[in-house]
Every structure is written in structure tokens, then in C-alpha cells.
Amino acid sequence: MNEQNSIPTTKTERSAKFVKTGFQIGGNYIKHYSKKLFNPQLGRDELNEDNAADIYKSLSELKGSALKIAQMLSMDKNILPKSYIEKFTQSQYNAPPLSGPLIVRTFTRNFGKTPEAIYDKFNLVSSNAASIGQVHEAELKGKKLAVKIQYPGVGDSISSDLKLVKPFAFRLLGMSEKELNIYIKEVEERLLEETDYELEVRRSIEITEACKDLKNVVFPTYYPALSGKRIITMDWIDGMHLKEFLQTNPSQELRNKIGQALWDFYNFQQHELRAVHADPHPGNFMITPDEKLGVIDFGCIKEMPDDFYVPFFSLISSDVIKDKKRTIEAFRKLEMIHQDDDQAQIEFYYKSYLEMIQLFAKPYTSKIFDFSQPEFFTQLYAYGEKIAKMPEFKQARGVKHFIYVNRTNFGLYTILQELKAVVKTDTYNPHLA
Amino acid sequence: MATSQQIKTGYIDYVLTHDEKPKSVYSFVKKLKITEAEFYKFYGSFESIEKLIWAELTAEAIDTIQQQEIWAQYSSRDKMLSFFYSYTELLKGHRSFIVYSLKKHTDRFSTPEVLAGAKPIFENFATGLINEGLESGELADRKFFAKRYKDALWIQFAFLVNFWINDDSADFERTDEAIEKGINVTFDLFQRSPIDNLVEYGRFLSRNVNFSDISSKH
């Protein structure tokens, strides 16, 4: 059994971790260039792979918010080279667990009882990690349950973690400081919400109740009486993760069914609830034995205020985009074009963002969209790469809501691509009145 | 007729109200309306009351954890973790007295006198766990050092109690982290490590290989 026995928690310890990563990456470059002296054919792939392994290693040892950031980075596949992605996506599954007595302690804290006294069966060895906590299997009255337990001190360390991640992310993503600050603040808010398990249970119940009529989507039942500040008890959802599911070679029909369920789940939330499960990484979904999509984690919810929702979706699902004046007006509302931009800048950003919106809106423009076609994603990646190289995009553009909305939709598109699903995209449409 | 319990409660009440121990046994028993003889029947001094309270709390924590159903499944490491979690939980109910009792002790490098009663109880418990661990192979049996393991755990005991006294986090959460890390690190050191293997390897080489032979062949 490979239990990790210490989480570096004080700021110095954690800084040390990042410093170490910095050194290692430096070392990897040295290794790369010295090898290249002898073998000029050596590509950057190996170097990227080395770097990714080191970054992943330090991030996964950090747990908590740093692991979360590893997950977020892994979502933005267009920013990172392929080998980074492979390592980062690992963090979505397994991180080493905490000791048995601390779990018992957390229970006695929350309920004044040990887990054995609460459940009929409780497995002290966790079945997987949930980035700021870990999941245990339990049983009560013949029902299989999933019990999520939060690591102690997570909330405390988030802000200091993010401060540490900043220079790291700065280098990794090549963002300007101002842009990064908006990003970090928004991320910090969401992360702190995620540590509030009482809030999570309330929201989970609200959203699963609102979504209960969606076809082929299933949710666990949540048990508020068996949940608390650090513990959530819900039904255990049997099934496979996306990766395992795809290995079983599912039929196109089945892929479409799961893909449609996913699409409906997201678009119902975006347009009917105006609040969306903003953590679409593959670890949060299960494909159940009766071929349904199980959604298991509502820690991260992004609410979309009208002043974002209306201009953004008017660009996507109405004629606004055909009218340059109205489009620019919408871009201004979304702070993609700034007050003090001159005529040339307005023209430049209008063109660039128009391209982005058109790409993004592509699945919406036809009634049916085939996510298996590689051209769409090639275009998306190419656009991302082009943008990343433009000095004009080094500064902050766009309201903060984009961070999670982009992440959500991009995550959704990515999963649908992996599923190679053909999806009816007009099931839930934006309300712009 | 006074009981040991009555005197103890009376003493705790007194020190928490006055933030110092009574001036004399005489004045204390007068307040309690008992005779000096009755006091001395149970306790030799005020210090011995404090010592007893610590000893009782320590024994109670050990007793509680050993009754947990899960106890038998725990490794030595888990058992020690479990002790500290229960102990700090138990101390929580007596925090004012604990803080008072240790506050007087300013020398950080010696064991506080009031813990003199708790120490043998804890060490006895720790020795039991260590022997269990040595037997099961969980801990490395090192000549000389294995006998000192319990001392390392006693240092952790003193450190963690002190940490808890100064902990101002909600629900003493930071103490939980200190326990999780501190005990894990200590047990990591008790476990077989690369150093042990290195020493073993060195021993093996010195017994079986003639170094000068090897170097001359190359």
C-alpha cells in the first residue's frame, strides 16, 4: 500500500516544493541541451515529458489547491504541449491517501461517532482521491455509499498556495501579471467554495433536483444528515470512468447516447439554471452499467450573471454576430474590447474575438454536431496557439467569468471529442429576452 | 469524609479561579472543610494532584482507543496516531487546567514535573506498540537504536501537547496536522529505510569482497 505520509503544509515547505520543481525543470533543460550536443535530432518531446513528470510529481505531492490547479491546467489542453497533458490528467484519478486514525478523528469531530458506529460497513482504505479530499466506500442498510472526506487545513492553505503557484503559472502559461490576478482571484473564490462541504451538499441537492428529468443522466442521492463540514455521504455510483469506458470499445450509438446526456446536462444548466457544474474533468463522470451518465461531484459551481450571460450567448445564438456594430458592443460589455482602445485596436480585437466566437459557437450553428471530426479541434488548438504567440493577448482581456465558462465548455467539447459523439445541439437553447 | 475526587475537583476549581495554587495545604483544606489528615491520606502535595490528573487523562485516552472496534486492525503507526487524536480530544475538555498546569513550566528542554506521572504510562504504551511493530516487521529492529524509539515518541508527546496549548486554529485543526505529520515522520524514521540497506550492503561487502582485488582487476 502506498500511502503518502506527509503533506507539505507550511508555506516554507510548500515553497521549497516549488523551488525544487523550478530546479528540476532547469535541470531538465540542461539535460536536454547536453544530450542535444551529441544527438541533434533529439526533439523537444522528451524534454517536455521530463518537465511534465517533474511538475506533476510536485503538484501531486502538494495536494489541496495545487492539485486542483494541476487539474485545471490539464483541462486547457490547447495551452500545454501534449506530454504535459498526459501527466496532468493522471492527477484526476489518484493521489495518495491519509491515515486511518485521522479519518476516524474527522468523523468523531463531525458526528461524535466513529465511522463504524454510523455505517454498517466502512472501508478505512480510500478508494480514490478527490483533490481536496478522498472517497471511501461504506454501506448502510444494504445500500452502498460513497463518503467523501476533506483533508484538514485545506481551506487555510488555499490562498497561500495560490500565491505560490502564481510565478509558476506565470511561467507555464506565459500570462501577464494583471491577467493572472483576475484569474487567481476567481479561482480562489471557487476553490474556497469547494472546501465548504455543507454548501456542496445543498447545491448538489438543488441541482440534481432541477436536473432530475434529464434523459440518461443519473445522480447520487445525498444524505445531509450524514454530511457535515468535512464529510459528504452520497450513494455510490457504480460504473466506469471515461477512459475505461472507451477501452471497452463502445458502439457509436452508445457513444452518442452518453455524449447527448452530457451535452443536455451542461446546456440545461447553462440556459435553464444559469449555474453550471464547472468541473468537467473526466474523473467527475461515470458511465453506469445500464448505460447512463453518472455525475458525481458538485464542488465547483459557476453562476452566470445576466451581464455576462446575455451578451455572451447573444453572440453565439443570434444574428448579433452578423452585425459588426452590435458585435463590438457585446465585446465591450464583456471587456474584450476596452474603453481606451484606439480604432486599430478595436479592429484587431474585433477580428480576433470574432474568430474565437465563431469557432466556439460552431457546435451551435447546426442542429447536429459531430465531435469526432478532428478539423474542429485542430482549428481550436491552432487558434489557441496563435493567440498565445500574439503580444496583444499578453494583457488582460475579457471578464473574469470567462475563466470558468471557457473551462466548462472547453472541457465539455474535449470529453465529447474523446467520446467521438454525434450530438443534437439544439436541445436546450439560450434565453436572451 | 472527603474523597480523592472531591479534593481533586476542589483543587482544579481553586487554581482556575485564582490562577495560582493555594498558599498552603492548611488554607486549602479549610476552604474545603476537610482535615489536613484527610488531604494527606490521598495526596502528598499539590503537585501530586496535578501529576495524578495528567496520569489519569493519559490512561483514559489509552483505555478509550483500545476499546475501539478497529483497534486490532491498526498498525503500530495508526495506533500511535489514534492515541494522539483521542488524547487531544480528551484534553479539550480540560483545556483551562492543562494550560494552567503547563504554563508554569518554562524550561522547554526538560520534561515538566507535572508529567512525571503520565510519562511511565505513555512509555509503557509506546513500548508495547514498538514491540508489536518490531515483531510484525513494520519497524526496523536496529541495534541500540530500537531501544530509543520510545524516547523519540515521548519527545513527540511533549511537543504535541505544547503545540496544542498554543494552537489557536478553529477546533484545533492545526494540531491534527501536527500529529499527522509528526507521528508519520517519526515512524518513517523507525521503518526500514535506504540507510539500513546501505549499511547492510556495506557489511556484506566488507565480509565477502576484497576491495583491493576488484580495483586491481580494472
Same domain, A72 and A139: no
Question: Radius of gyration of chain A from Cα atoms?
Answer: 22
User: Residues of B numbered 140-169 whose beta carbons fall under 8 angstroms of chain A's beta carbons: which are they?
Assistant: 169
Same domain, A85 and A27: yes
**Residue at A40 is within a domain:** yes
The Cα–Cα gap between B65 and B78 comes to: 11
What is the three-class DSSP state of A370? strand
Cell of A173: 502559461
The Cα–Cα gap between B186 and B1 comes to: 48
Sign of CA dihedral A21, A25, A28, A30: negative
Same domain, A101 and A90: no
Query: Which of left, alpha, beta for B43 (phi over 0: left; psi -120 to 50: alpha)?
Result: beta
The Cα–Cα gap between A244 and B3 comes to: 68
Q: pLDDT tens-digit profile of A163-184?
A: 666 666 665 555 566 666 776 7
Q: How confident is the model at residue A44 (pLDDT cuts 50, 70, 90)?
A: low
Same domain, A176 and A289: no
Cell of A248: 471497452
Residues of B within 8 A of A98 (CB-CB) are 180
Same domain, A117 and A222: yes
Q: Cβ distance A175 to A183 under 8 Å?
A: yes
The Cα–Cα gap between B129 and B8 comes to: 31
**Residue at A3 is within a domain:** no
Q: Cβ distance B8 to B49 under 8 Å?
A: yes
Minimum Cα–Cα distance from A230: chain B residue: B173
Question: Radius of gyration of chain B from Cα atoms?
Answer: 23
Judge whether B191 is closer than 8 Å to chain A, CB to CB.
no
Q: How many CB pairs under 8 A join A and B?
A: 63
Angle at B146 between CA B145 and CA B151, to 5 degrees: 80
Look at chain A and report how many structural domains it folds into.
Answer: 3
Q: Cβ distance A146 to A137 under 8 Å?
A: yes
Judge whether B42 is closer than 8 Å to chain A, CB to CB.
no
**Residue at A2 is within a domain:** no
- State the pLDDT at residue B205: 84
Judge whether A6 is closer than 8 Å to chain B, CB to CB.
yes
Residue A251 carries which DSSP code? -
* Cα A274 to the center of its chain, rounded Å: 18
Same domain, A131 and A36: no
Q: Cβ distance A135 to A144 under 8 Å?
A: no
Nearest Cα to B85, choosing from B27, B1, B160, B185?
B160
- State the pLDDT at residue A62: 44
| Helix runs in A112-146, H state only | 115-118
Domain B47-202 listed as CATH 1.10.3470: no
Q: Which of A179, A209, A236 is the last residue of a domain?
A: A236
Same domain, A302 and A398: yes
* Cα A390 to the center of its chain, rounded Å: 25
List for chain A the helix, strand, coil content (%; round to 5).
Answer: 60, 10, 30
Nearest to A9 among B77, B177, B185 (CB): B177
* Cα B125 to the center of its chain, rounded Å: 9
Cell of A292: 447512463
Q: Cβ distance A185 to A192 under 8 Å?
A: no
Same domain, A251 and A224: no
Nearest Cα to B77, choosing from B183, B155, B216, B196?
B183
The Cα–Cα gap between B94 and B11 comes to: 13
**Residue at A1 is within a domain:** no
The Cα–Cα gap between A176 and A169 comes to: 10
Judge whether A112 is closer than 8 Å to chain B, CB to CB.
no
Strand (E) or helix (H) holding A218: strand A217-218
**Residue at A6 is within a domain:** no
For residue A204, pLDDT beyond 90: yes
pTM of the full predicted structure? 0.71
Same domain, A169 and A122: no
**A393 CA: distance to closest CA in chain B (Å):** 42
State phi, psi for A137 to the nearest 5 degrees. -90, 135
Judge whether A273 is closer than 8 Å to chain B, CB to CB.
no
The Cα–Cα gap between A277 and A298 comes to: 6
The Cα–Cα gap between A423 and A416 comes to: 9
Judge whether A110 is closer than 8 Å to chain B, CB to CB.
no
Same domain, A243 and A366: yes
**A190 CA: distance to closest CA in chain B (Å):** 22
State phi, psi for A370 to the nearest 5 degrees. -100, 105
Domain region containing A130:
96-150+196-236
**B15 CA: distance to closest CA in chain A (Å):** 29
Q: How confident is the model at residue A48 (pLDDT cuts 50, 70, 90)?
A: low
Residues of B within 8 A of A1 (CB-CB) are none
Same domain, A308 and A208: no
Looking up cell 487524536 gives B85
CA distances from B32 to B10, B40, B49 (A): 7, 14, 15
Residue boundaries of the structural domains of chain B? 1-44, 47-202
Q: Across the interface, do B85 and A102 touch by the CB < 8 Å criterion?
A: yes
The Cα–Cα gap between B180 and A152 comes to: 10
Residues of A within 8 A of B176 (CB-CB) are 102, 105, 152-153
User: Residues of B numbered 62-121 whose beta carbons fall under 8 angstroms of chain A's beta carbons: which are they?
Assistant: 68-70, 73-74, 77-79, 81-82, 85, 89
Nearest Cα to A179, choosing from A406, A402, A389?
A402
**A215 CA: distance to closest CA in chain B (Å):** 43
Torsion of CA A124, A128, A133, A137, to 10 degrees: -40
CATH code of A124's domain: 3.30.200
Lowest mean pLDDT among A223-232, A263-272, A311-320, B54-63: A311-320
Minimum Cα–Cα distance from A104: chain B residue: B82
**Residue at A364 is within a domain:** yes
Q: Across the interface, do A6 and B185 touch by the CB < 8 Å criterion?
A: yes
Same domain, A273 and A413: yes
Nearest Cα to A2, choosing from A97, A88, A129, A128?
A97
Q: Which of A180, A215, A236 is the last residue of a domain?
A: A236
For residue A281, pLDDT beyond 90: no
Judge whether A98 is closer than 8 Å to chain B, CB to CB.
yes
For residue A326, pLDDT beyond 50: yes
Hey, what long-range contacts does B104-110 have (CB within 8 A, 24 or more apart)? B108/B162
**Residue at A132 is within a domain:** yes
Strand (E) or helix (H) holding A140: strand A133-140
Mean pLDDT of chain A: 77
pLDDT in tens, chain B (218 residues): 568 888 999 999 999 999 888 999 999 998 888 889 989 989 999 999 999 999 999 999 999 999 888 888 899 999 999 999 999 999 999 999 999 998 877 666 677 888 989 999 999 999 999 999 999 988 888 877 888 899 999 999 999 999 999 998 888 888 988 898 889 889 988 888 887 888 888 888 888 876 555 555 45
Judge whether A41 is closer than 8 Å to chain B, CB to CB.
no
Q: What is the DSSP string of B15-61?
A: HHHHSS--S-HHHHHHHHT--HHHHHHH-SSHHHHHHHHHHHHHHHH
The Cα–Cα gap between B102 and A103 comes to: 29
Residues of A within 8 A of B185 (CB-CB) are 5-6
**Residue at A5 is within a domain:** no
Q: pLDDT tens-digit profile of A120-140?
A: 999 988 887 766 788 899 999
The Cα–Cα gap between A28 and A51 comes to: 7
The Cα–Cα gap between A301 and A405 comes to: 10
Cell of A218: 443519473
Average pLDDT, stretch A257-275? 94
* Burial zone of B101 (CB within 10 Å; 0-12 exposed, 13-18 middle, 19+ buried): buried
Cell of B130: 514498538
